Structure formats: structure tokens, C-alpha cells
Structure 1
Amino acid sequence: MSEVQKPVYGGQAVVEGVMFGGKHHTVTAVRRKDSTIVYYHIPRESKPAVNLLKKIPFLRGIVSLIQSSATGSKHLNFSTEQYEEEEGGEKIEEKKTETKESSKLSVWLGVAVIGVLSFLFGKLLFTLIPVFLAALTRPIFPGHMAQVLMESLFKLILLLIYIYLVSMTPIIKRVFQYHGAEHKVINCFESGKELTVANVQASSRLHYRCGSSFILFTVIVGMFVYMLVPIDPLWLRVVDRVLLIPVVLGISFEVLQLTNKVRDIPVLRYLGYPGLWLQLLTTKAPSDDQVEVALASFHELLRLEKRTEKGLETDVIV
């Protein structure tokens, strides 16, 4: 008999908490300043047409991306609202309100690096800006391959600068710690170890299925795809890049899934290393308190998933 396959769970760091998603539910746990943990829950809706699309290679990545963006934004909104309620208090000064808005923007920008929130808009910017930067180097690098390589190099540099800048804000540093906690919980679960703080802390903060890896793969995959299309004139190059975004996303998703499947094969595991290297920037070592929040979220998800599988009503902790 074949071994029963474990269910696959994903996650996302939010402000002062972690969101985990399963087959039937997504759950976020957020720690407030009084040390209490509050939860937010969204049941997954089963849509036959969407489920069918998610079975089609190259299309399933785009569908998953859209779904993750829609669901993840709701969980992020919940966490930022909890954060603002505690940080804001009464709006006494206009400056304070502006600070809050700036803080909220930095949160959205930072979490976009971790998962797929606002990713399509970000992908558009990170696709087009390198095109114009590379075009400026045409007197030095006029060839087709050289231009694509320069474009990809600029894209990578912009991505690293972007991550570095958002990581300088204190709140994003904590989000990156929760990102590390999320990965540690998933790795601990997938290794079959008991879900304790000690076992989770001993697990890796890097994971092959991370959204950060996906973003990096779009840079690499895009480089090879762009080799197949013309770069002249410039307006056609711009149009091609925009039209090819779904193609690059679809292929990148398949590459991400492939690297995850072969991660235990000695030679092939290195295919996922570039994504893991980027995660060294987008994840940080979490504290025990942060791991406790991630575990609370994951345990609540497991509880709801189990009740759904048994056909029971899914009561939610609030």
C-alpha cells in the first residue's frame, strides 16, 4: 500500500501574526499588546470552474496567484487593523495620522515581497523599469542577448534594493521574523516532528515553496523567455513584456513546484537554491513568542480542517 500523503499547507506573514491556509480554510492569528491572541478565519469556497483551471499546468499558477492575492489581502487588512487600533488611539495630531498611513503603506510593500499581495502591480513595474534602464545601455551592449541579460540584471538589482529598503523599517523586520516563524512551522510539520516551540525553532526558516522563491524565479524564467522575442523597436519590447507576464508567471509557478518536488534528490535540490538565498533576506529568526503565535494559527487551522472533514460545523475562536 502507498503511504498516505500529508495535506499541503501554505502560509503568509502578516503584521504581528501569521496566516495559514489549508484545503477548506485560511486562518490568521495576531498577538495584541496585551499578549492575547485574536483570530481571523475565512472558509474557502469551492468553485468547480476554478478547481478545473487549477489542474491545468501553466494556468494553475496564475489562478493560485489571484486567489492568494484576494485572500491574503483580507488577512493583511485584519492584522493592520489590529495594529492600528493599538498604535493609533485617538487621532490627536495630523502628523500622527500621516505616520500611521506611512506605516500602513510600508507594511503593504513589505508583505508584498513575502507573498503575492499586490504582486501583479509590482510585477508590472519590475518588468517595465528594467526595460528602459537596459535600453539606456544600448550604446555599450547593443546585442539582443546582451540587452536581455542587462534587463534581467537591472530587475534583480531593483528587487534586492526594494527588499533592503522595506526591511529597514522596524515593523517590516518583525514581519520578516513572522515569515521565518511561518516557514519553521511548515517545515516542522512536514518533517513529522511534534509541533512544539523547541522543535519549530530547530527547523529551517527557509522553504522551497516560498513566494520569495517564486518572485526570483520570475526574473530567471523571464530572462529565457525574453530571449525568444524581439527587442526592437522599444515600443514592441514594452508590449511584449506586458503580454508575456502571464506566461512568465505560469512557467515560474511550475518551476517552483518542480524544485519543491526534487528537493530531496541530492543533485536536483540545488535548483531551488537561488530562491532559498533570497529568503535569507525576506525571513529572519523569530522569537519564541512569535513562534507561539504561528503555532496558534496553525493549530486553529488544523482544528477547523479536521472538523470540516468530519462534516461538523466549524466554530471559530474569536
Structure 2
Amino acid sequence: MEKERVTASPVYGGQALVEGVMFAGKDHTITAIRRKDDSIDYFHLPKEKNAVRMKLKKIPFIRGLVALFESAGIGSRHLTFATERYDVMPGDEEEIEPEETSKLGMILGVAAVGVLSFIFGKFIFTLIPVFLAQMFYFVAPEKTAQILLESFFKLILLITYISLISMTPFIKRVFQYHGSEHKVINAYEQGLPLTVENVQAQSRLHFRCGSSFMLFTVIVGMFVYFLVPADPFWLRIVNRILLIPVVLGISFEVLQATNALRNVPVLKYLGYPGLWLQLLTTKEPDNEQVEVAIASFEKLIEVEKYGVAALKVAVNTNSESDLDVDTNPLAVQ
């Protein structure tokens, strides 16, 4: 019965941050980060209610784009909170000079694999492969060959980029928190108590991950491109740019479908390519990182159940830490 209750509950998502994890529910988002003194600090951001956006999120192929922009706006706020606090002793925040509060230069690698920079990076990963494929036009001039070459280069660029940034210790730790995020969700969806032991026993992969979404854009894009002209070359460039929203919208539906089919024999393998990419974008977390992810998720569940009043309740962590509550959430148009 417990597992049936969890299955029927709202779908929760998350995002790995610098020394922390953000989880999002139906009405609220919560981040937990590990501070310099080993305490756990929190950031709360309620989701803004927008009637138009809520209606758009119910329309197939459109809802993916809406969700992407919404996640970008919310995620950037949580990312800013994490990067400005994780390496500062509690109580010293006000001593930071304004010009020192932004560490964007240090976290470009993190943002680039996140939802926000994905929107802009998509242009680069869409157009560069087109030019690379065109370089081989003299040996592969056919439309099919050009599209296959383009998709191949796009996949190689994606894998190479993620592999390179994952070699840095800083990004590796973010990927460990990414793994802890998935482990917590997997444990919750199985109806297990969220203990470090139970969470660590779970897979660090999840069918609904944004990494899978990135890979599906490559696969979906390949099939969509077969439906439009590839020549002349300038028209191919225009098509690729105009089709970005189409590819993103379809890829979101594919992601949702593979998640819905993950327990169906044979069909579950449709989501495996995305899981394989997650072997690069997630790493096995340590127990302390899992503790942070559990703290974030449990606080979200508490807020979703009892409302904002729950934010004032003391959290049972290694040390006490007040919640940073933002009552003016970022409006995502």
C-alpha cells in the first residue's frame, strides 16, 4: 500500500548544485547545501502561480518548452544561493563585498550542463555539427548521409564536452550531488524510508533525468531533419535554428514516454540511451552528500504538506541552520 501511495503522489524533480541539491514539488522548491562549517543551510522558493502557464503546461509538445523555461528561472535562483554561500561561514555573509558575491566564472561548467545554459548551448551544439558535416560534403553529398554525419558529430561533441568537464574535481562533486539526487528520488518512488543506507543502495540513474533529455534531442533531431530540405546549405542552417523549439518539445514527450514505460518489458530499453549518458553526468556520492539530498527532499515534502509554516520548524541535522526564505519568487514568463 505504501508503494501505491507514493506512485500516486506528485512527481518530484531536482537539480544538482554546488555542494547541494534542489528539489521541486507542485508548489514549492527547496535547496539544501553543505556550508563551510559542515552545517546544512536551506533556501525556499515558492512556485509562482500563472494561469496562462498552467494551461500551456497541459498541451503536449508545448509543455516541455514551458517547463524548460520555468526550470531555468527557478534553477538560476537556487544556483546563485548555493554558489554564494557554500564556502562562507554562517554569519559572515554580510561581510562579503558586492563584487565578490558572484562566482559565475567558477560555475560555468555547472550551468552549461544545467537547464538554463542548455537553452543557449543548444544553438552551438546544433549549428557546429552542421558545418562539420558540410566539410565532408564532397564524399557524402546525399541528404541522408549529411544528416547522419551531423547527428554523429553532435553526439561526439556532447559526450566529449561532458567527459572533459567531469574530469575537474569541482564538477565531479556536482555530479556526485546529481547522483545523490537520483538516489533519493529512486528510494522515495520505491516507498523506502529515506535513510542514508536505503538511499545509497539505489541506482544513481533515473529515466526522467535532464541528461536523458539532452541525448534525446540528438536522436529526435535526426529524425525531424529528415522531414525538411537539407539543400541549399543556407536553408539547412535556417531550418536547424527554427526547428530547435520543435526538437525540444518532441524530446520532452519522448522523455516522459520512456519514464512511463520504464517498467514495461522490452519497451523499457527505449530509455537506456539516456541512462548511458547519465553514467557521465552522475557519480557515486558519499554519505555526507546523500545526507544533504535527503535533508532537501524531506524539507520539501514537509513544506508541500504543511505549507510555508513548516519552514519555521527546526530541522534535525548535524547543526542548526535557519532557512533562507524568498517570498518574492522569480517570475518566469
TM-score (ref. length: structure 1): 0.91
Q: Which residue of 2 aligns with 1:315?
A: 311
Q: Which residue of 1 aligns with 2:242?
A: 243
Q: Which residue of 2 aligns with 1:197?
A: 196
SS in 2 for 1:142: coil
What count of residue pairs does the alignment treat as equivalent? 305
Q: Partners in 1 of 2:40 and 2:174 — Cα distance?
A: 16
- Give the C-alpha shift of residue 314 in structure 1: 4.8
- Contact between 2:36 and 2:88, CA under 8 Å: does it hold in 1? no
Q: Partners in 2 of 1:74 and 1:110 — Cα distance?
A: 14
Q: Which residue of 1 aligns with 2:110?
A: 110
Unmatched runs of 5 consecutive residues or more in structure 2:
313-321, 324-333
- Contact between 1:18 and 1:293, CA under 8 Å: does it hold in 2? yes
- Give the C-alpha shift of residue 234 in structure 1: 1.4
Q: Partners in 1 of 2:71 and 2:304 — Cα distance?
A: 18
- Contact between 1:111 and 1:175, CA under 8 Å: does it hold in 2? no
- Give the C-alpha shift of residue 157 in structure 1: 0.6
- Give the C-alpha shift of residue 231 in structure 1: 1.2
Q: Is residue 79 of structure 1 aligned with residue 82 of structure 2?
A: yes
- Give the C-alpha shift of residue 169 in structure 1: 1.5
Q: Is residue 147 of structure 1 aligned with residue 143 of structure 2?
A: no
Q: Partners in 1 of 2:68 and 2:310 — Cα distance?
A: 26
SS in 1 for 2:176: helix
Q: Which moved more, 1:118-127 or 1:256-265?
A: 118-127
Q: Partners in 2 of 1:85 and 1:197 — Cα distance?
A: 26
Q: Partners in 2 of 1:84 and 1:245 — Cα distance?
A: 38
Q: Partners in 1 of 2:87 and 2:122 — Cα distance?
A: 28
Q: Partners in 1 of 2:284 and 2:264 — Cα distance?
A: 27
Letter in 1 for 2:272: Y
Q: Any idea what the Cα deviations from partners look like across 1:94-128, whole Å, max 9, x if unmatched?
A: xxx8xx98x74352323432x41211101011001
- Contact between 1:16 and 1:79, CA under 8 Å: does it hold in 2? yes
SS in 1 for 2:105: helix
In structure 2, do the counterparts of structure 1 residues 280 and 111 end up closer, same or farther at CA, with 3 Å as the change threshold? farther
Unmatched runs of 5 consecutive residues or more in structure 1:
92-96
Q: Which residue of 2 aligns with 1:37?
A: 40
- Higher relative helix content: 1
- Give the C-alpha shift of residue 232 in structure 1: 1.2
Among 25, 29, 32, which residue is 1:26 paired with?
29
SS in 1 for 2:32: strand
SS in 2 for 1:105: coil
SS in 2 for 1:6: coil
SS in 2 for 1:274: helix
- Contact between 1:106 and 1:172, CA under 8 Å: does it hold in 2? no
Q: Which has the higher contact order (CA 8 A, sep 6+)?
A: 2
Q: Which residue of 2 aligns with 1:94?
A: none
Q: Which residue of 1 aligns with 2:330?
A: none
SS in 2 for 1:303: helix
State the Cα RMSD in Å.
2.2
Instruction: Give 4+ residue runs of structure 1 displaced > 6 Å after superposition.
Output: 88-91
Q: Partners in 1 of 2:60 and 2:168 — Cα distance?
A: 38
- Contact between 1:188 and 1:195, CA under 8 Å: does it hold in 2? yes
Q: Any idea what the Cα deviations from partners look like across 1:215-272, whole Å, max 9, x if unmatched?
A: 0000000000001111111111111001000000000000000000000001100000
- Give the C-alpha shift of residue 45 in structure 1: 1.4
Q: Any idea what the Cα deviations from partners look like across 1:27-53, whole Å, max 9, x if unmatched?
A: 000001211111011001111111100
- Give the C-alpha shift of residue 315 in structure 1: 3.0
Q: Partners in 1 of 2:122 and 2:253 — Cα distance?
A: 17
Q: Which residue of 1 aligns with 2:221?
A: 222
Q: Any idea what the Cα deviations from partners look like across 1:189-216, whole Å, max 9, x if unmatched?
A: 0001111000000011000000000000
- Give the C-alpha shift of residue 178 in structure 1: 0.2
